[in-house]
């Protein structure tokens, strides 16, 4: 297979994951230019996250695309360094090697986005390589500022709607969404050696790591998950006015994000806060009800 074909195959394998995301990456109702920008951004964001989670296909040539010697081990720290260097080339006007980074060229050249959100995401994934527990809720929120908030900031940048107040509201929404996702994925994260429940809260609710490894949640785990779910719900409510601050199709997109988080929180509650058998998923009717409430300004 030709080199260009291999590059496209490896890039497509990352982009194909968009269909499995909790929220549509680039919904059909958005203007074509926004959809193109969002998909280009998604490709780089997904690449960074897949490196951090060691989810890249082993036969793929990502290390080679990033200029690394294929004879040397391509571990997460080296790959993250290489992605950062490739993004540096892009934003400095150079020629990046990875096709997903190259695909970001039109968006970057228009000044629609800067390198900063991507560097924050890389920092979050570097942190995941050596930080597997968080002592306090504030520590977790600080991690979300790197791992989640850049996504909302990129959306506002692409749509040309970023203001200080919207960025603040977006950060609240994104942190709330990230915490809900962590709660849905407690069992999966534990298998990766990570716990995103604050250690001080686990102690307060008398929850041990062994409790989190059980097939179903006991009363103490359920109480802890309920407590953290309410924290996430409060953050989503805090950020909901973001939706009312914009208009048109962007309003629909942001309402979908907020509603998705609220519907996921409801699904956790509906499961009796037992997330250990698998992530509770919101129903479509519930998602539509939440979206309607957000659009009406009731959320």
Query: What confidence tier does 63 reach under pLDDT thresholds 50, 70, 90?
Result: confident
Of 69-78, 127-136, 152-161, 219-228, minimum mean pLDDT range: 69-78
* pLDDT confidence of residue 22: 59
Query: What confidence tier does 105 reach under pLDDT thresholds 50, 70, 90?
Result: very high
**Spatial separation of the C-alpha atoms in residues 129 and 292, rounded to whole Å:** 40
Say yes or no to pLDDT of 183 above 70: yes
Say yes or no to pLDDT of 39 above 50: yes
DSSP alpha helix (H) spans, 53-163: 62-65, 76-91, 99-102, 105-109, 116-130, 137-147, 149-158
Cβ 23 vs Cβ 257: under 8 Å:
yes
| C-alpha to C-alpha distances, 120 to 45, 80, 148, 254, nearest whole angstrom | 11, 12, 9, 22
* pLDDT confidence of residue 74: 79
Half-sphere exposure of 282 (CA within 13 A, CB side): 23
Say yes or no to pLDDT of 35 above 60: yes
* pLDDT confidence of residue 280: 96
Residues 6+ apart with CB under 8 A from 99: 7, 8, 10, 11, 65
Say yes or no to pLDDT of 220 above 80: yes
* pLDDT confidence of residue 127: 97
Say yes or no to pLDDT of 242 above 60: yes
When pLDDT is averaged across residues 35-43 and rounded to a whole number, the result is 94
Query: What confidence tier does 60 reach under pLDDT thresholds 50, 70, 90?
Result: low
Q: Give the distance between the most distant pair of CA atoms in the chain.
A: 58
* pLDDT confidence of residue 298: 72
When pLDDT is averaged across residues 128-135 and rounded to a whole number, the result is 97
Residue 93 token pair: 């006007």
* pLDDT confidence of residue 229: 98
């Amino acid at each position: 297979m030709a080199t260009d074909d291999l590059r496209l195959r490896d890039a497509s394998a990352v982009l194909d994951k968009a269909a499995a995301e909790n929220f549509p990456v680039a919904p059909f109702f958005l203007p074509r230019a926004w959809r193109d920008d969002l998909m280009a951004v998604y490709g780089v964001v997904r690449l960074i996250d897949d490196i951090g989670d060691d989810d890249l296909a082993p036969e793929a040539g990502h290390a080679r695309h990033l200029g690394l010697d294929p004879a040397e081990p391509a571990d997460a720290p080296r790959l993250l360094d290489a992605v950062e260097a490739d993004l540096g080339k892009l934003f400095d006007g150079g020629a990046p090697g990875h096709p997903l980074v190259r695909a970001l060229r039109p968006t970057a050249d228009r000044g629609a986005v800067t390198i900063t959100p991507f560097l924050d995401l890389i920092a979050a994934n570097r942190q995941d390589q050596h930080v597997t527990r968080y002592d306090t809720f504030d520590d977790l929120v600080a991690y979300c500022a790197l791992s989640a908030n850049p996504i909302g900031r990129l959306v506002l940048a692409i749509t040309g709607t970023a203001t200080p107040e919207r960025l603040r509201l977006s950060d609240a929404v994104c942190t709330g969404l990230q915490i809900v996702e962590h709660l849905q994925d407690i069992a999966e994260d534990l298998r990766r050696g990570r716990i995103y429940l604050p250690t001080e809260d686990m102690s307060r609710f008398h929850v041990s790591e062994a409790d989190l490894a059980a097939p179903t949640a006991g009363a103490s785990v359920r109480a802890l998950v309920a407590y953290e779910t309410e924290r996430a719900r409060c953050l989503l409510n805090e950020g909901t006015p973001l939706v009312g601050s914009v208009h048109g199709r962007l309003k629909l997109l942001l309402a979908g994000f907020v509603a998705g988080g609220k519907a996921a929180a409801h699904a956790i509650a509906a499961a009796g806060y037992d997330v250990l058998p698998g992530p509770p998923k919101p129903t479509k009717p519930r998602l539509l009800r939440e979206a309607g409430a957000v659009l009406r300004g009731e959320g």
